[in-house]
Structure 1
């Protein structure tokens, strides 16, 4: 077939060849012209212009780590997640922009959320998390992803007892650990602690390093349960490492400033812990004292000067150091702002001389407020309470054996300021030390005695060293059994007598007058006050109820004094001005009940917490709130005394003028009885209540208790029993009860006599002959 076509082509004429070439050229030109009619980004397909998909035509058009997105007539590129355009290029780009997508390091731009105790690891286009060194994931996997709730917890390297090797102990820390050579061993490098478990502890004979290892180990063990001591122990570890880097022959290379910086750093760390108060429990206090003693031993023999004294905001410390070929001898004295220590160098050195001997005395400023407790193991006398009355001090020496010293150490403690109330109480100083073996820690007197004391200081002697203080045993008058019996019996009798007086003054009309109205409300106020006192004064288990009881007692005792004041005013008006002078009831009620209400309301608004104490439902004495009662009482007593003196002087004149033939003895007797009676009624007995502060005023307490508890009996005797007219009414009442058949005659007699009595009611005083 091909041969036939070739033959056919050769058989064509030249003209025909030219014609065929022209046809082919025209067809090719038409196709080119048709393609050039499509817009950019389009191609001709089947005679039509359609969009060109550049992403398919050229898959690598956007480069690495980018995605191509086709659009109508064009396209754009975006970097993959975890990548970003180089420089500050736009988010979308094309090949013409010459942009490359670079990996984003999420670990540097803080866009990770791995969680605490983790490490971020950047990867191509992403990142992953792993637990930090010394921590392990809760799932046990090495690679973590954020948002899965996986936690990294501390890896306890010390769970294996043999982790640190022989003669070393392992101590786990957050995210790490360290090993400490046991006493008598050291590393070849001269250190005491290490983290390279390939190192081994070997026997050593360097005494200073032995001391450092011992005290460091003691401090670490004491601090482990309490994270607040971490800074102190870390500082101690750092100092130990610095000192261990130098051999003993090079210790002289440390300058004076270097040595002082150790002490300064220690006090600064202690200030941070104690500043603002120290919330203490017994175990925490024991740990604090153990760490402080260890630190003082560690830095004591590094001091170049002796003595070294330094004060800070919370501590005052003095250090002594003696060096030489032979141990020092004699007496040494140390002073701080809180105490003085006197001892012997032989006591500080002990049986083993290390080439040096150190002593230290440290006083804490304000720590006594946090430790003013922990007295349960102390023997107390009756009605004694304890209070720390000196600064707390810590004393330590380089001698390891200080639990039972052959030569006792002597302390002089300077007393702190105490309140005026405590100054009036009996005081008994007690020398104590902090014993960590008593329920985790408590104050104890074991091995310590009180040698002597004065108002400003106490001398103590102890056969051991630790942390010390002086307690002041304060005598509290407390509850005396005899006083309780007198109060119970006296108040019971008074309540009965007050009730009889109230019934008498209210129902017996023949004796009703202004004075007896005052007596009636005086008895009502005292009856309520004494009844509430009897049933509620000791009910302190409910604070709110106790406050209410204290408020009721405050009000009705003040009301009784106000009615007593009205009694004095009325006596004055009757005797000095004009007899039978009356007071309007509205004024009497305003003064008798209104004034106490105002005083109690103001007191409650000013200091509501002053109502109720730990022992009694009464006003608080320590903060001076008691004067909201004694203040008005003193004013009323002064006013009554003035009225009383004037009244008595006028009565004396009337005795002389009305009874000129009365012999002197009769005058003195009547004057004395009247004076004593009015003194009791007007409340002079309450003066004795102001002097009940300490052991020396027990007599005052007895006088006050007897007179106040029997006040109802005195009221009944003077205003009812000794009043002739009242006795007559009692006799009539008893005769009616004993002889009922004569009741009609008695009623008739009473009715007949009521008219003349009523006619005299305006002039009759209704008083006793006294």
Structure 2
């Protein structure tokens, strides 16, 4: 067998450092990562193309925030896929540059998860009438600029470089450009995601509760029969993807659950771009329906505003 020198797996972004894997698990996780990240980039590029071509001028605030998340995730997948190629060059400067870029885009992705959660909760609370001045500009500056400060500081401190991922056979060890200090990894990456996860998960619970309350009111005043179980599952899956809750499987990467959590984490999060494409497609379809209804009636109800941000609420049998 030839020496293993290919891409590492996606879960390494939040996995505890300095742990050993079997070569079979590393190979399997690598294949899943390559396929998942490739599909994600393909579908994320479709979303960006559709938005630029068809909906850029008439996009709602929810769509603009979603596009920012899509952009951050696309760049995260891109830098992750080229990481292996740069690591093979054995160029310390190039390796540090790729490491800081990948870290920056990961932090911005986490930030946009939090913004998505904040926007959904705020949209439901205000009935779709958000009156914050320069709202999109403010959340954009926060989500794109603050992570860059972290990356620049860590780059100056020399915390980026070549990291070795060990296997049970040292001949098959692989390297990647990433954070070399385990303490920085725990504090900056895992610590920041813990804060984001607590916020998004709390918002997720509140949002699902409000959505189901609205659905009960809608069923009481509507004669149309919509399958509540299918709608409920679609809402939960859509919100989990939108808020990055699936990244929480990294918390189970300890003990006997370490390898299973790696597989679940890698499958769900390397394919997250595909899930966002489905969400965007449903959003565009729902907004077109609401726009046509609004133009004929002259007004949109509070419930319609809520549904425009949560298209899964109107999935039919």
Shorter-chain TM-score bucket reads 0.7 to 0.9
**Higher Cα Rg, which structure:** 1
Query: 8 Å contact 1:546–1:617 — kept in the other structure?
Result: yes
Structure showing greater relative contact order (alpha-carbon pairs closer than 8 Å, 6 or more residues apart): 2
More strand by share: 1
**Distance change >3 Å, CA 611–CA 760, structure 1 → 2:** farther
Deviation of the 1:602 alpha carbon: 3.0
1:130-209 to structure 2, matched below 5 A, reads none
Consecutive unaligned residues in structure 1, runs of 5 or more: 1-381, 383-419, 426-474, 729-752
Matched, 1:597 2:148: yes
Q: Which residue of 1 aligns with 2:231?
A: 670
How far residue 663 of structure 1 moved from its aligned partner, in angstroms, is 10
Runs of 4+ in 1 over 6 A off after TM superposition: 661-665, 759-763
Using the alignment, how far apart are the partners of 1:564 and 1:644 within structure 2?
Answer: 11
Deviation at 1:598, TM superposition (A): 2.1
1:613 aligns to what? 163
* Residue 586, structure 1, aligned to residue 147, structure 2: no
User: 1:685 is matched with which residue?
Assistant: 246
Deviation string, structure 1 residues 504-552 (Cα, Å, up to 9, x no partner): 2333237501111111111111111101111124532222211111100
CA distance in 1, matches of 2:188, 2:212: 37
CA distance in 2, matches of 1:554, 1:629: 9
How do residues 536-547 of structure 1 correspond to structure 2 at under 5 angstroms?
A: 536-537=83-84, 539-540=86-87, 541-547=90-96
Correspondent of 1:643 among 203, 207, 211: 203
Match of 2:32 in 1: 486
Work out the number of aligned pairs and report it: 274
Note the alpha carbon deviations across 1:31-88, whole angstroms, 9 max, x for none: xxxxxxxxxxxxxxxxxxxxxxxxxxxxxxxxxxxxxxxxxxxxxxxxxxxxxxxxxx
Distance 1:689 1:421 in 2: 12
Superposed CA RMSD: 3.3
Distance 1:698 1:707 in 2: 14
Q: Does 1:633 align with 2:178?
A: no
**Alpha-carbon distance in structure 1 between the residues aligned to 2:309 and 2:259:** 39
Q: Say which structure is richer in helix.
A: 2
Q: Who is 1:516 aligned against?
A: 63
Alpha-carbon displacement from aligned partner over 1:145-202 (angstroms, at most 9, x marks no partner): xxxxxxxxxxxxxxxxxxxxxxxxxxxxxxxxxxxxxxxxxxxxxxxxxxxxxxxxxx
Match of 1:768 among 285, 288, 311: 311
Tell me the TM-score normalized by structure 2.
Answer: 0.75
CA distance in 2, matches of 1:519, 1:590: 15
CA contact (8 A) 2:161 2:180 kept: yes
Which residues of 2 match residues 434-473 of structure 1 at below 5 A?
Answer: none
Aligned pair in 2 of structure 1 residues 517, 483: CA closer, same or farther (>3 Å)?
same
Conserved in 1, the CA contact under 8 Å of 2:235 and 2:310? no
Q: 1:767 to 1:682 in 2, by over 3 A?
A: closer
Q: Does 1:654 align with 2:199?
A: no
Aligned equivalents of 1:477, 1:545: Cα separation in 2: 29
Deviation at 1:620, TM superposition (A): 2.5
Structure-1 separation of matches of 2:17 and 2:185: 13
